[in-house]
Every structure is written in C-alpha cells, then in structure tokens.
Amino acid sequence: MKEFSIDDISLTVTCDVTLRLAELEKKLEQRGYTLGYEPISGNNATLRQLLDQAILNHWAARYGEIGDICMALLVESKMGKIQTKKVPRAATGPDLKKIFIGSRGSYGKILEATFRISPLPEKQKMVRIVLKQKQHKKPFLLKVLESGLRPAEIQEKGLRFSFNLHGPSSIVHAEEATLKKIVKNMGARLGS
C-alpha cells in the first residue's frame, strides 16, 4: 500500500507520488473528496509524472493547475532531502515548489506531495450553447467573464461552447440561470 493520508480539517491529502492519479481520485471519492485535476493527458499517469511535466488541467478554471493544487513537496536532490512547507504562497519567501514542478526531475526527484482537495461536487451539469455568428464569440466570452461564473471547464468548437458546471446544487443552478440569461441577451441558443 502506497502512503496516503487525508487531513479532513485542512482539506489536504499527502501521498507517495508513485500513486497513479486514477487511484488517488478513487480513494478520494470514497471519502467524499476530489483533487479537481483532470489532466489533458488522461488520468493514468503517476502523480510524479504529472508534477514533473506540469500537465495542464481541464478543470483549471474551477480548481487551478497542478502547481496551484500542490501545497508541499518532499524532494530528494543531490544536496539531500528538501521538504517544502504547507504555507500560503510567498508567506515565507520564494515558493520552492515552482523550482521542482515542471522541471522533469532536473533539480531532484519528487518523492511525496501534499495537495489541496475539495469536497465532491454535489452536482455537475454540462450546458451547451450555440452562437449565431463568429463576431458574437468575443462579446459572449466577455459577458461570461464579467458575470463571475467559475465553470470547471469550457470547451469551444467553432460557434459551440460547452460549460461544465460543478458545485452545490444551488450554485450550479444559479450559474446555469446566469448562462441562460447571457444566451438570451446575446441572441444565442442552448445546444444539445
């Protein structure tokens, strides 16, 4: 069994980075949590591979990138073991995690990581929108940004947009209503 511990108070998980992301998510889901990390490369990679390569997150708009989710690291370098602390960014000087995340192991081998976790979303909903004309894209996206929406993911294909909404039912319902209002005001339509 690979090392794995959840801190329910701090909402963090500390684990051995040889653990595969899919395994970690399964363990977190059993406890009612998620990492909120859906890498563009799929979830079969180990945590070390994801940290070493700083793979982008589909759900970054809601949860952040791997460097945002990662709170602390234990790294073995040529100078010995380095343990970064779980403190707010820049609270104690430079963020040493940034040296190691995305470095592909150049500065040391990541052994263990502590990640911020989130409660599993009570509700998930995909809202699809179709714009009428290409020139409506920019004003539409500006309206979405101005509205304060925080979808987990936005996908765009031509004039079609898909918004993946996560959160408590009341928040998802409110975000969906906001999107519908923007759609109505822009003369767009809901897709299927």
Mean pLDDT lowest among 26-30, 101-105, 130-134: 101-105
pLDDT category at 1 given cuts 50, 70, 90 is very low
- Which residue shows structure tokens 């708009």? 61
Length of the chain counted residue by residue: 192
The arithmetic mean of pLDDT across residues 159-164, rounded, is 90
Task: For residues 149 and 187, give the distance between their C-alpha atoms in angstroms, rounded to a whole number.
Answer: 19
Count helices and strands (H / E) in the chain: 7, 11
Would you say residue 30 has pLDDT above 80?
Answer: yes
Distance of CA 8 to the CA centre of its chain: 19
**Model confidence pLDDT, tens digit, residues 66-125:** 888 998 888 888 888 877 777 655 556 677 777 777 878 778 888 999 999 999 888 989
Is 0.85 surpassed by the pTM of this model? no
Residue 13, pLDDT score:
94
Question: 3-state DSSP: the chain helix, strand, coil percent, rounded to 5?
Answer: 30, 30, 35
- Residue 107 contacts residue 52 (beta carbons within 8 Å): no
- Residue 100 contacts residue 73 (beta carbons within 8 Å): yes
Instruction: List, in sequence order, every beta strand (DSSP E) within the chain.
Output: 4-7, 12-16, 33-34, 70-77, 80-83, 109-116, 118-119, 123-130, 153-157, 160-167, 189-190
For 40, the enclosing helix (H) or strand (E) is: none
Q: Tokens in use for 165?
A: 């909404």
SS3 state of residue 188: coil
Other beta carbons less than 10 A from residue 139's beta carbon: 13
Could you tell me the domains of the chain?
4-119 (3.30.465.10), 123-190 (3.30.1360.20)
Which residues, including other chains, have CB under 8 Å from residue 187's CB and lie 6 or more apart?
132, 136
